[in-house]
Amino acid sequence: MGLLVRLAARQLGITPRYAVEVRRSLRVPMPDGIDLRTDVYAPRGLPRSPTVLIRSPYGRRPFGLSMAAPFATQGYHVVLQSCRGTAGSGGVFDPHHDERDDGLATLEWIKAQPFFDGSIVTYGLSYLGYTQWAIAQAGGPEVRAMAMQVTISDFSRMTYAGDSLLLETSLSWTQLVTWMKSTRGRLRLMAQMLLRRPALSAAQWRSLPLATLDEVATGERVSFWRDWMEHDSSADPWWQPMNFHRTIPEVRRPIHLVAGWHDLFTPWSLRDFVALRRAGAPVHITIGAWRHTDAGIARAGMQEALDWFAHHLGQQRSARTETVKLFLMGADEWRDYDQWPPKQSAPATWYLQPGAGLAREPAPDSQPDRYRYDPADPTPSLGGPAMTPPRPFAVDNRALEARSDVLCFTSAPLAGDLDVIGVPSADLVVSSSVASADFFVRLCDVDPSGVSRNVCDGLQRIAIREDGAPQTVHVDLWPTAYRFRRGHRLRVQISSGAFPRWARNLGTGERLGTGAAMRVAEQSIHHSPASRSALTLPVCPPPSS
């Protein structure tokens, strides 16, 4: 194992200082009597040192070499634990419900161990980050610092983004954690990954009602999926005990975050960052041009966590002073700022025009643009954030833009470079023939050859006024840091879906999980002096200006 540990550490850009010893499958008791299986990685010859806690629902082996052992080579004792109901741990895995109590009980167990020297830090990405949020408020003074990557404090916000359902992500994850319970399921996941196959076939994604899609995806009824379909809004009180964003005002411990512009969780990672700043907690964030499973996240996460921990354990000073480090795509450069969004960013409004134009001045009197959305032939998702298997984020959108259910509004060529850093948004004046409608907005970069590549996007579901009168829908797009080059053009796409990334809006206003009937929607986008449909971009000047 020694050679593998050294290789793993070097892949992460760190030099091993200690050999590593491992005790496997220890039983850590919980207050309700069940045991959680736990591995302890120790630096050889160092009986006591700070402890890194990592808690995972995906088994321990995948994170032994990639996380636990590298930390141990740097002089940390590492407690790597399988969450309740996973990888040999007792109980039933009920996502998000038990992480606070189990995490706090594990902290008490660590404090009673002979290797405990008085200091604990925590680490992990995605759900492993959520297990840290679960104890961030109540973890006690022994927890000196935390380091979380591509994660979120309130998973309901990700599940029901834009008051719709992020179907592809939530169902793929349901399949993942369900199949991981058995050898046969793990083999199916491995084959799916190697062959780069999606979780479901095109026909399976269209199955209705959504409440029974768990059986299509996994071959069995999954209780937590049924719960999600029943409690189909982040505003449902059912989600509150699992919502740790609400506890951030009470968090004071140092937290380091890593996010990716192409990641699933970025809007909410930044929301958590802003809340921590408001609460007065020491917090830094690094945001790169990464997707959820990119190797760059692991490398940046490990290197910056080691610096963060060393600083907050009193072992070294931190060289980094700015709280926000971000990668400006299109310029291929890193920038440092002292807040998010940068105080230098200022809103610039671009108005939709008749004749498919996009300009800085409001549109003249004009008739609305119309399109027909048929949920039986939904507008497909193309590129954008995804969980697994990995797919390109930015792709040529011209085939999508050629569909009759997609409207495009394009600017004149830019006279100079345009840096957009922040959260773009759209305010559309719309009307519809159905009871409920989705509006998907995508910002694209059109190069001089005409290739249109997606930069960021967002979707919002709304109830339509009974009288059919125009109404305004606000759509927040994914946060971004992107340079549109001189001579390129801005393009705004508008449609009523991105399937299967988001669930289809069936047009009837029925409940998310039980709806099965479909209605074709006639959609109108209004643009005139009285109905100003517009895109707002946070434009940031270069540092030298």
Domain boundaries, the chain: 2-158+238-320, 166-231, 346-539
pLDDT tier at 392 (50, 70, 90 boundaries)?
Answer: confident
If one counts every other C-beta atom within 10 angstroms of the C-beta of residue 243, the result is 17
For 373, phi then psi, to 5°, come to: -110, 120
pLDDT tier at 453 (50, 70, 90 boundaries)?
Answer: very high
Distance CA 424, CA 414 (A): 18
Beta strands in 261-329 (DSSP E): 283-288, 324-328
If one counts every other C-beta atom within 10 angstroms of the C-beta of residue 332, the result is 9
The helix (H) or strand (E) run that includes residue 129 is helix 127-136
Give me the percent of the chain exceeding a pLDDT of 90.
87
If one counts every other C-beta atom within 10 angstroms of the C-beta of residue 436, the result is 20
Is the separation of the CB atoms in 433 and 503 below 8 Å? no
Region 257-271: mean pLDDT is 96
Helix ranges (H only) for 370-481 are 398-401
pLDDT tier at 218 (50, 70, 90 boundaries)?
Answer: very high
Structure tokens that stand for 190 in this block? 């491995």
Tell me the CA distances in angstroms from 505 to 172, 230, 430, one per residue in order: 19, 17, 16
Which fold does the domain 346-539 belong to in CATH?
Jelly Rolls (2.60.120)
pLDDT tier at 389 (50, 70, 90 boundaries)?
Answer: low
Encode pLDDT of 219-257 as tens digits: 999 999 999 999 988 889 999 999 999 999 999 999 999
Structure tokens that stand for 37 in this block? 């299986």
Distance CA 223, CA 449 (A): 50
Give me the percent of the chain exceeding a pLDDT of 70.
98
pLDDT at 417: 97
Q: Give the CATH superfamily of 2-158+238-320.
A: Alpha/Beta hydrolase fold, catalytic domain (3.40.50.1820)
Q: Within 13 Å of residue 504, how many CA atoms lie on the same side as its CB?
A: 25
Sequence letter at residue 510: E
Indicate the average pLDDT of the chain.
95
Those residues whose C-beta lies under 8 Å from the C-beta of residue 61, and which sit 6 or more positions away, are: none
For β-strands 369-373 and 489-495, DSSP reports them as: unpaired
pLDDT at 323: 95
Region 253-282: mean pLDDT is 97
Encode pLDDT of 146-161 as tens digits: 999 999 999 888 778 8
User: Could you say which DSSP state residue 33 is in?
Assistant: S
Distance CA 317, CA 473 (A): 47
pLDDT at 345: 97
Structure tokens that stand for 236 in this block? 């449902």
pLDDT tier at 9 (50, 70, 90 boundaries)?
Answer: confident
pLDDT at 541: 92
pLDDT at 482: 98
Is the separation of the CB atoms in 38 and 81 below 8 Å? yes
Encode pLDDT of 466-490 as tens digits: 998 999 999 999 999 999 999 999 9
Region 77-103: mean pLDDT is 97
Say yes or no to pLDDT of 420 above 90. yes
One fold for 2-158+238-320 and 346-539 = no
pLDDT tier at 390 (50, 70, 90 boundaries)?
Answer: low
If one counts every other C-beta atom within 10 angstroms of the C-beta of residue 22, the result is 16
Beta strands in 464-505 (DSSP E): 471-476, 480-484, 489-495
pLDDT at 1: 59
Structure tokens that stand for 341 in this block? 């969004």
Encode pLDDT of 53-78 as tens digits: 999 999 998 899 999 999 999 999 99
pLDDT at 333: 97
Say yes or no to pLDDT of 545 above 60. no
